[in-house]
Amino acid sequence: MLDHLALQCTDTGAASDFYTRVLAPCGVRELMRYDGPGGAVVGLCGPDSFPRLWLGSAVDTGTRPVHVAITAPSRQAVDEVFGLARAAGTEILHEPRVWPEYHPGYYAVFFRDPDGNNVEAVHHTFPS
């Protein structure tokens, strides 16, 4: 459904380092980087090697945080993301747990990225 999402960052390099380190258990890695008019532009991908999350220089520095959810391959990966986010010193919004109000197999952690965006790693388990 989602083709790609672009986030404005105060420090594109720091944001790329954060996302690739903390979301490594979800298969997130840097795929490409190029210099744009405002500075570095970074394309991050998951296991499909398609750049779905783009990071670029902040154009509008107002306080309008974005929510982005990254698919995790397992609950263990969600827990690993939580550990890496905590080790990075970021604000943890919600520790990993099941969110039955979304659906019974919705397991997620929520935290802030360096620019204050609400980031989620989520694994969906559906009954057979």
Per-residue tokens: 54: 């783009």
What torsion, rounded to 10 degrees, do the Cα atoms 76, 27, 126, 86 define?
40
Please compute the mean of the pLDDT values over residues 47-73 and round it to a whole number.
87
Fold of 5-124: 2,3-Dihydroxybiphenyl 1,2-Dioxygenase; domain 1 (3.10.180)
Residues 98-121: tens digit of each pLDDT: 999 888 899 999 999 998 899 999
With 0-12 / 13-18 / 19 or more C-beta atoms within 10 angstroms meaning exposed / middle / buried, residue 29 is middle
**Residue ranges per structural domain of the chain:** 5-124
Confidence at residue 93, expressed as pLDDT on a 0 to 100 scale: 95
Predicted TM-score of the model (pTM): 0.84
Confidence at residue 64, expressed as pLDDT on a 0 to 100 scale: 67
